[in-house]
Amino acid sequence: MSGLAQRYLIDLEERTRSAPRLTRAQEVLRVLHRFKQWLHRKVKELVQEHWDLAVFDVTFGSLKAFVIYPGLYFAGLVWTIPIMEYIPLNTQVWTAGYLFCRRHILSMVGRLRYGHSLNRLDALRDEALGIHPRDTRSIHRFEEGFKGTVRTGRSRLADWVRRCRRMRRERNVILQSELRAMVSDREFLWQANELRNNAWLYEEILIKKILSTPESRTRLRARLVTERPLRDGAARRLRDTIGESLLPSYARVIEQGNALTETLKRNLGHTFSATSLAIRWLNWSYQRAAYRGLAQLDVLHHRLLAGILEDTAVEDSEHLLPIQRKREEIQTWMERAAAFGTRAKAAMSKPEAHRVIEAGIAEARSLGRPVRLARLAYRLSPSARRGV
């Protein structure tokens, strides 16, 4: 991923140098566009990482509308419905309570699968690998001028709460907002803002930009200390087996999809045409396999950690071979997605894109990937029906 971040850095610097001087109206439009990007990121995070909130909200609302309130109506207690809606059965209050208790609830669900809570398993991993606090698993290592490690946190609220509780912040822990503050080139930050939906890659690019300037490199170096190597042999074996974080793998999958979308916008003129959607749905079939593999790999990691709590050494775990095979499977799906993306990016016209779609559908079906949405979009394409 370091080479990928370097290529993005070079491209962003070229775009920054060629950017024209902005008028006041263009600056206002940029503020509005930045807000649009922020809203898109938050909606995407909500759908991908907090989808259970929507399920809880809809389920609780349906329970009230179709079970509780009809029961009160037929029981002659209609007058209690406004009272119930005000506090005891207010959907927003219950959803907020679920959000507040969500981490603990999911941790307890982990006890059913692994025999231990997720909080305990994660604490074991973080303690063995020296990760503190727990929300700084975005780890970046570099050797450019000096050897350093940056653990990035993204929640300013969590950092403020820790400071209010007089908890000492580790010197190698830096907020993403602080990394942005170290970059003096405002135009560069604007050009890179579109990459913030891929947080790990975005942070890697910011760090490389900081290291390319003497002043910002000095500021970053003042915040870092030399990381102590893991002396415990069991901790080193655990790190070599499960790694420190799956974020770089997720970042690679996200980047491949984003790069394909941007290329389709340039080559075909629109990302929401039926032809573009067919290509994106085909690519998503490979990406979904990679995402599913990463989720299954995380389950295997937690099973291995549960075995450690039950006095099973890492080298004696029955999950070593499944972890290795799952990694190879994920790598295979990533390579297939990259190969399909390369062919799709080479399509400069609708007829070329149609040939890529037809070959992609046949290939994906032979691999057992779902192609229904891609086939539907392709059939709805006016240019495909006209043979153009």
User: Tokens standing for 317?
Assistant: 């775990």
Q: How far apart are CA 144 and CA 141, in angstroms?
A: 10
Cβ(207)–Cβ(140) under 8 Å?
A: yes
User: How would you classify the pairing of strands 173-175 and 147-153?
Assistant: parallel
Q: How far apart are CA 297 and CA 311, in angstroms?
A: 21
For position 329, what pLDDT does the model report? 94
The Cα-based distances of 82 to 77, 85, 87, 90, 170 in angstroms read 11, 5, 9, 10, 50
Low-confidence residues of the chain, pLDDT below 70?
1-2, 133, 145, 166-169, 271, 383-388
Question: How many C-beta atoms lie closer than 10 Å to residue 240's C-beta?
Answer: 10
Residues β-bridged to residue 140: 150
Sheet holding 173-175, edge to edge: 138-143, 147-153, 173-175
For position 301, what pLDDT does the model report? 92
State the amino acid at position 224 in one-letter form.
L
pTM value > 0.95: no
The Cα-based distances of 186 to 109, 181, 210 in angstroms read 45, 10, 13
For position 385, what pLDDT does the model report? 57
Q: Which residue has the tokens 């207010």?
A: 90
Residues β-bridged to residue 367: none
- What is the DSSP secondary structure assignment for residue 149, as one 8-state letter? E
Q: How far apart are CA 341 and CA 322, in angstroms?
A: 28
Query: pLDDT tens for residues 319-351?
Result: 889 999 999 999 999 999 999 999 988 888 888
DSSP H/E element including 333: helix 320-345
Q: Which residue has the tokens 């290329």?
A: 263
Q: How far apart are CA 138 and CA 140, in angstroms?
A: 7
DSSP H/E element including 139: strand 138-143
Residue 144 phi, psi dihedral angles, 5° rounding: -125, 95
Q: Which residue has the tokens 């709590």?
A: 309
The Cα-based distances of 206 to 178, 181, 202, 227, 340 in angstroms read 10, 10, 6, 21, 29
User: Tokens standing for 177?
Assistant: 């907002």
Instruction: Return the closest-CA partner of residue 361 out of 382, 384, 332.
Output: 384
User: Tokens standing for 219?
Assistant: 């500021």
Cβ(2)–Cβ(205) under 8 Å?
A: no
For position 52, what pLDDT does the model report? 86
For position 286, what pLDDT does the model report? 92
The Cα-based distances of 36 to 19, 40, 269 in angstroms read 21, 6, 21
Instruction: Return the closest-CA partner of residue 136 out of 97, 102, 164, 176.
Output: 176
User: How would you classify the pairing of strands 173-175 and 138-143?
Assistant: unpaired
Q: Which residue has the tokens 């893991």?
A: 230
For position 334, what pLDDT does the model report? 93
